Amino acid sequence: MPRHSVPLTTLREEVCEANRGLARHGLATLTWGNVSGITPDRECIAIKPSGVPYDRLTPADIVLVGRDGRVIDGSLRPSSDTPTHVLLYQAFTSIGGITHTHSPYATMFAQARREIPCLGTTHADHFHGPVPVTRQLTAAEVEAGYEDATGRAIVERLAGQDPIAMPAVLVAGHAPFCWGRNVAASLENAVALEAVAFMAFGTVVLAEPAGPTLLESHILCKHHARKHGPAAYYGQDPG
């Protein structure tokens, strides 16, 4: 068992609850999705075991892996997406949780290889601009290490962007990955992503044949800043 057993117990509970939340929020069909979290020292990742139904998942089932993706503690195999999670934690040091889903509307945009445009303030409240799409992986990348290549494509696509301001990406032909400062925030961003994808899909359909109008940049920036900026005033003061 790794060091810091109490924090790891708490992290396992948080990751288990977030994974169960995928089903509760309608973000996962069958076992199509996984959530992970990382310890503050970034030495240990807790992640869903592969293929275990959400309603049967317990904190003890959550697998602990090290920074290299090797199992530290747990009797089950970790998610097949573990290498992607590991790489994202290495690249984005400000994030503490990752949620991967195949939620229908966000996945439709990923399969269409289309970014989710920022068409309204609901989108701007959570994502500072259009949600981007990765390039398609090459046959050589898939052969050499599919999940690693997926992570590298995400990092490549987010180059120059703050992963907290843009806490999601669509993997071309695959599905979305979301993240946040902690486990719960990553799940919240996945919920928000599916909602704005649904709204964008409907707006695009309603706006035919001319096409939708993008939200004006000054309104986009205002809505995002009032919730996430240094002078944010949405919600209540903590404490």
Q: Which of 105-138 are b and which e, b meaning 16 or more Cβ less than 10 Å from the residue's Cβ?
A: bbbbbbeeebbbbbbbebbbbbbbbbbbbbeebe
Q: Report helix, strand or coil for 232.
A: coil
CA–CA gap between residue 205 and residue 100 (Å, rounded):
27
Least Cα distance to 109 among 30, 179, 196, 28 occurs for 196
* Active-site pick, 55, 68, 146, 234: 234
Catalytic member of 73, 81, 105, 125: 125
Provide the terminal-to-terminal Cα distance of the chain, rounded to the nearest Å: 34
Q: Which of 67, 98, 219 is nearest to 169 (CA)?
A: 98
Quickly list H helices, 92-216.
104-111, 121-126, 139-157, 183-206
Place of tokens 């843009």: 166
Identify whether 105 is a catalytic site residue. Answer: no
The tokens for 71 are 């199992």
The answer to whether 179 and 92 are in contact (CB under 8 A) is: yes
Does the annotation count 234 as an active-site position?
A: yes
Query: What letter represents residue 149's amino acid?
Result: A
Q: Which residues are catalytic?
A: 125, 234
